[in-house]
Structure 1
Amino acid sequence: MPGAPARLLVVVPSETDPPARLGGWLARAGLELDERHLGTGDPLPATLDGADGLLVLGGPQSALDDEATSPELTGVRRLLAEALRADLPTLAVCLGAQLLAEVGGGRVREGVEGPEVGATLVAKRDAADADPLFGPLPMTPDVIQFHHDEIAELPRGATLLASSPVYAHQAYRVGRHVYGVQFHIETTPEVVEEWATRDTVGVAASRLDQETVIARSTAVHPDLEEVWAPFAARFADLVRSRARSGAATP
């Protein structure tokens, strides 16, 4: 009899950034998603006991927020720190990647070049070629950007995997299995349209009008799926390997 599917804890700090297509890709790859939507009051588990992997998404909060400003992020930081200690397969996206950088000894600050917004490209670094998740990606994969803060310093011992002309720290790995990506791969065109409508400051800083940001982001989504759905399947392989090894967080 086959065993239970590997379980991925999915932390959704804000309903503005749901798992969307990434959640669908991971479910189709055979993972059981345990989604915790903090904006609707879902509690976070105290520990990662029983989780074979962790996904932390983004939101309008800032990694610079203190506990009084964004109390919901306290538990997220705690789980990311636990994942680092255990080298649990983890994918942290945008805000998640910034929180991961902080708990790992890196540094986040307000982006010195201003917001990075809309459809763009990132470039793989040399170390990415030997990475099991990033190695098969094209040299300059399409991504969606929507962030005001930047990862100024990576966590201690991190390996840089991708950069952009605006901000160098776009993707990184800590240990063997913990990943952070500053950009978004999970979006739908509707999600990006909502962001572009809401974040008028970010769109204005991009020197593009709202309609252009939305149109370009919508047009690139088929290419995003072609590149990042297989990436999600490779991450699911890491989570399943962890489950098979019986090395879930003690």
Structure 2
Amino acid sequence: MPRLLIVKTGDAFPEVIAQHGDFEALFRRALAEAGFTAEVFDARLEPLPDLAGIDGLIITGSHAMVSDAEPWSEALKPWLVSARERNLAMLGVCYGHQLMASAFGGESGYHPAGRESGTHEVSLTDSGREDPLLGALPRHFPTQLTHAQSVLAAPSGAVVLARNAHDAFQALRYGPRQWSVQFHPEFTPEVMRAYLARQVDKLRDQGQDAHALMRRVTDTPEARSLLVRFAETVTSHAKR
């Protein structure tokens, strides 16, 4: 089995944790469905681990904002650069997506159109259809999304793999084995609805109906499959 490390960058809402588990538990549960296990490193509380012996990193979402440049978050950037230089497999999710883009020379910050929340379709680019990780997905597929910040400018050399009407950079690849996605492959419909319930006022302020968005929440098996596909990619490389 490969040594997968979940880099925890934040906590879910208390009611989500109580009913469904924290971010790392959601990832572990999805991976366990295919027999994979993962260790957890809390980047806010623990010293940066040695990259030697690690086969793959999954960087979680967070309620923090990359543009706030908190010390623990800024410390992760050169560590992620070192991981990419080692060609270590990486998958950043939401905050992890924005953090990786920022670490590698792009820009992340508040989206000018506001928050994107709920189940929304994203579409693969031509490059995404040929990508070893995302290429097995349908050209258009549903995803769970909740974010106020986005990647505003991709790093030089990054490949855009997926987009939608709200966000031009829904998925990026930074190297042969380094990916990030704005959407949450680990979220279940129940978790997505719990997030929307928390955002009723914020969404109303930008002219959206959170209850209507709740009714449109669906399962997102294609997006969820990325986690197992990533673990399989890490395993295949580790066996060489």
TM over 0.5: yes
User: Which of the numbers 39, 49, 54 marks the counterpart of 1:51?
Assistant: 54
Whether contact under 8 Å (1:91, 1:178) holds in the other structure is: yes
Following the alignment from structure 1 to structure 2, what is the Cα–Cα distance between the partners of residues 176 and 159? 10
User: Equivalent residue for 1:110?
Assistant: 110
Identical counterparts, % of pairs: 30
Name the amino acid aligned to 2:8.
V
Alignment of 1:87-236 (within 5 A): 87-200=87-200, 202-205=202-205, 207-217=207-217, 220-221=218-219, 224-225=220-221, 227-236=222-231
Q: Highest relative contact order (Cα 8 Å, sep 6+), 1 or 2?
A: 1
Following the alignment from structure 1 to structure 2, what is the Cα–Cα distance between the partners of residues 18 and 165? 27
User: Equivalent residue for 1:33?
Assistant: 38
Whether contact under 8 Å (2:4, 2:55) holds in the other structure is: yes
Following the alignment from structure 1 to structure 2, what is the Cα–Cα distance between the partners of residues 99 and 145? 17
Question: Are residue 239 (structure 1) and residue 234 (structure 2) matched?
Answer: yes
Following the alignment from structure 1 to structure 2, what is the Cα–Cα distance between the partners of residues 45 and 27? 25
**TM-score with structure 2 length normalisation?**
0.87
Following the alignment from structure 1 to structure 2, what is the Cα–Cα distance between the partners of residues 59 and 84? 22
Whether contact under 8 Å (1:120, 1:142) holds in the other structure is: yes
State the Cα distance separating 1:178 from its structure 2 match. 0.4
Following the alignment from structure 2 to structure 1, what is the Cα–Cα distance between the partners of residues 119 and 224? 17
2:77 aligned counterpart, secondary structure = helix
Following the alignment from structure 1 to structure 2, what is the Cα–Cα distance between the partners of residues 50 and 7? 7
Following the alignment from structure 2 to structure 1, what is the Cα–Cα distance between the partners of residues 184 and 202? 15
What is the root-mean-square deviation of aligned Cα atoms in Å?
A: 2.1
Specify whether residues 96 and 191 from structure 1 end up closer, same or farther in structure 2 by C-alpha distance, changes over 3 A only. same
User: Equivalent residue for 1:84?
Assistant: 84
Q: How many corresponding residue pairs? A: 231
Following the alignment from structure 1 to structure 2, what is the Cα–Cα distance between the partners of residues 75 and 92? 16
Whether contact under 8 Å (1:7, 1:31) holds in the other structure is: no
2:82 aligned counterpart, secondary structure = helix
1:141 aligned counterpart, secondary structure = strand
Greater shift after overlay, 70-79 or 114-123? 70-79
Greater shift after overlay, 43-52 or 198-207? 198-207
**TM-score with structure 1 length normalisation?**
0.84
Following the alignment from structure 2 to structure 1, what is the Cα–Cα distance between the partners of residues 147 and 24? 17
- After superposition, the C-alpha distances for 1:20-65 in whole angstroms (9 at most, x for unaligned) are 44422323334330112456x4x24333222100000111111101
Name the amino acid aligned to 1:172.
L
Name the amino acid aligned to 2:133.
L
